[in-house]
Chain A
């Protein structure tokens, strides 16, 4: 894949506060990259650096093979969509869309053509004459996307564009953004703290923490083979169950934890073979089985149900087993009640093992 954006050794500090530290990132042409992380980890800062809205402290930024490190935002070939929509309140939607084009000195006919085209794609044609105050949240965000669209930019930057919308609209617009990407095939960088948005939209997800990228991989890889305990814990709802213990190595390695010993047969170690030492073992609630399946699972646990959350499609149950508390995702039709004794099981192949000290995947 040809690189559309490459970021080399980027660092940024606000005074004494180092927000981004020596960050490297390559984004392919037409790729949909999601920056995912909890609030304050530097996602917006990274996006603003790419857009040229913040003066970086060190490093280089290339867009479309061009070094834009010192370029003005408007000269970088980007379009940007903000969380608060940031529509110019005293201009109509049409005025908002054409503002950038007028600044660029485009001829009137071309401006009109581009605005009409963008309005058509986003189905906001009837709204062009309205002021932003007269629009609903969803319409405002469409108009804001339109403003990025008319620029015919190679790269779209989205900073939490859906966080101000209610759940239903968020789901609708998420689908629209995905379709837009399939239609336009521009490079898109999308910042969010919502893992569902990340998983559904991304070609690749970059999980950020403390100004660094912890893992950059496809949603599938991030979910199934998280690179470290933080990523494992961050992705998935309810979160992964963790057992604190140690690995006793060699062939037929075992994971020993309070009251249990799990055979690690079938687990794919990064280094090819088991490494002894203190470790965490993580298993997702949805990778645990119950009922008849549990009886044949390689690893079994018995526990008492202490909380049940029926979600309709499936049911979450919290168990206590020995000294451990675990969440299990059961079938939506499963009949469980507080106090039930049930058996659950899992396969070591679905588990994740992390080094106790470095918290990296083993």
Chain B
């Protein structure tokens, strides 16, 4: 009846509908269609204001670092840390990477960088591989005592590192790995275990049980289900674990300084030795460049996998 043409009108553009709608049906100015939103509402000002302040708070120090690292020492002595460099120089970066002196040698951060890479790669791979299998077994193959095992592991996550430092020194010495990179890799792998296992167990626990049952009916065993079903559908959580481990291990200072020897020190320890070396003048530009160089690896990882990271966190948060 009269309803149909009216419906068509509603789907037309706003202006058109207005001109063709009878005056009896709609007075001008009465609410109609999509609700208009004010751009400069109090709410928006508050939200964006806060966001801008917070980002400034985080970005300003970074800005100062980048700017300072590109200045020469005379320019730095003028004292305005916010001023952009008048004369851009990359010399501090070169020095930080290849020439800066620590207590013992003068080949810059590069040595520490390669040490860190040698520590990072096996530690990340090993800890994620073991923890994901642990989590999978705990979530899907409940065995006698699996709950107890899990509880013990979780308690492990809450024991302060400091308590375990000395016992581990003895342990590593006994098995002959004290002061070597493999020893440090082992330490990182073990300390990553509780939190990573928890992460993987919760993620695999949120995968529908029926999927697991279907795979068993299809004759897949423990490893086959793990590699063919679980791993392919868990990419986001592997990325989360990788980010946690890369940043955690790369930023580690304590274990690096305790369990390795000076020529095997990771980048963070090397950085500290450069920045805090007491000989000569303080070269702020070199220090800044060295610091940025050290932070570059976690930063890159964040940029490359940020989206997956957020998705993985969300997936973990919704279920489990």
In this assembly, does B214 line the interface, its C-beta being within 8 Å of a C-beta of chain A? yes
Q: Does B232 contact A (CB under 8 A)?
A: yes
CB of A48 within 8 A of chain B?
Answer: yes
Among A74, A79, A83, the residue within 8 A (CB) of B210 is: A83
A86 engages B233 (CB within 8 Å): no
Residues of A contacting B218 in the complex (Cβ-Cβ under 8 angstroms): 74, 99-100, 103, 147
Max count, chain A CB within 10 A of own CB: residue among B214, B232, B233: B214
Interface string of A296-317 (1 = CB under 8 A from B): 0000000000000000000000
Number of A-B residue pairs having CB atoms within 8 Å of each other in the complex: 61
Contact of B159 with A by CB under 8 A: no
- Please pick, from B208, B213, B233, the residue contacting A80 in the complex, using a CB distance under 8 A: B213
Q: Say which size band chain A's interface belongs to.
A: 20 to 34
Number of interface residues of B (CB under 8 A): 16
Chain B 207-227 per-residue mask, 1 if CB under 8 angstroms from chain A, else 0: 010110111111110001000
Closest B residue to A150 by beta carbon equals B218
Q: Which of A72, A82, A104, A147 contacts B213 (CB 8 A)?
A: A82
Q: Which residues of B contact A86 (CB under 8 A)?
A: 208, 210-211, 213-214
**In the complex, which residues 162-211 of chain B have their Cβ closer than 8 Å to any Cβ of chain A?**
208, 210-211
Interface residues of A in 69-102 (CB under 8 A from B): 72-75, 78-80, 82-84, 86-90, 99-100
Q: How far is the CA of A222 from the CA of B208 in the complex (A)?
A: 35
| Given known A-B contacts A83-B210, A84-B208, A88-B229, A53 and B220 have beta carbons under 8 A apart | no
Interface centre among B216, B219, B224, B228 (most CB of A within 10 A): B219
Given A86-B208, A88-B211, A90-B233, residue A80 in contact with residue B219 (CB < 8 A): no
Tell yes or no: A51 within 8 A of B by CB: yes
Q: Closest CB of chain A to B146's CB: distance in Å? A: 14
List the B side residues contacting A78 at CB < 8 Å: 217
Most buried by A among B214, B217, B229: B217
Contact assessment for A73 and B217 in the assembled complex, using a CB-CB cutoff below 8 Å = yes
Whether B213 lies near A48 (C-beta < 8 A) is: yes
Known contacts A83-B210, A84-B208, A103-B224; is-contact A90 B217 (Cβ 8 Å): no
Identify which of A74, A83, A87, A89 contacts B216 (C-beta below 8 A).
Answer: A74
Q: Which residues of A contact B213 (CB under 8 A)?
A: 48, 51, 53, 73, 80, 82, 86
Q: Please, which residues of chain A bring their CB within 8 A of the CB of B232?
A: 90
B208 contacts across to A, CB distance below 8 A: 84, 86
* Contact assessment for A73 and B210 in the assembled complex, using a CB-CB cutoff below 8 Å: no
User: Which one of B210, B219, B220, B224 lies within 8 Å of A82 (CB-CB)?
Assistant: B210
**Distance A165 CA – B42 CA, assembled complex (angstroms):** 46
From known contacts A86-B208, A99-B228, A103-B224, infer whether A147 and B214 are also in contact, taking CB-CB under 8 Å.
Answer: yes
Beta-carbon nearest neighbor of B214 in chain A:
A86
Q: Which 10 residue pairs spanning A and B have beta carbons closest together?
A: A74-B219, A100-B218, A103-B219, A86-B210, A86-B214, A90-B232, A82-B210, A73-B217, A86-B211, A80-B217
Chain A interface residues toward B at CB < 8 A: 48, 51, 53, 72-75, 78-80, 82-84, 86-90, 99-100, 103-104, 147, 159
Given contacts A88-B215, A89-B233, 15 further A-B contacts (CB under 8 A): A48-B213, A74-B216, A75-B219, A79-B217, A80-B213, A83-B210, A84-B210, A84-B211, A86-B208, A86-B210, A86-B211, A86-B214, A99-B228, A103-B224, A104-B219
Q: List 5 A-B contacts (CB under 8 A).
A: A48-B213, A74-B218, A78-B217, A84-B211, A103-B219
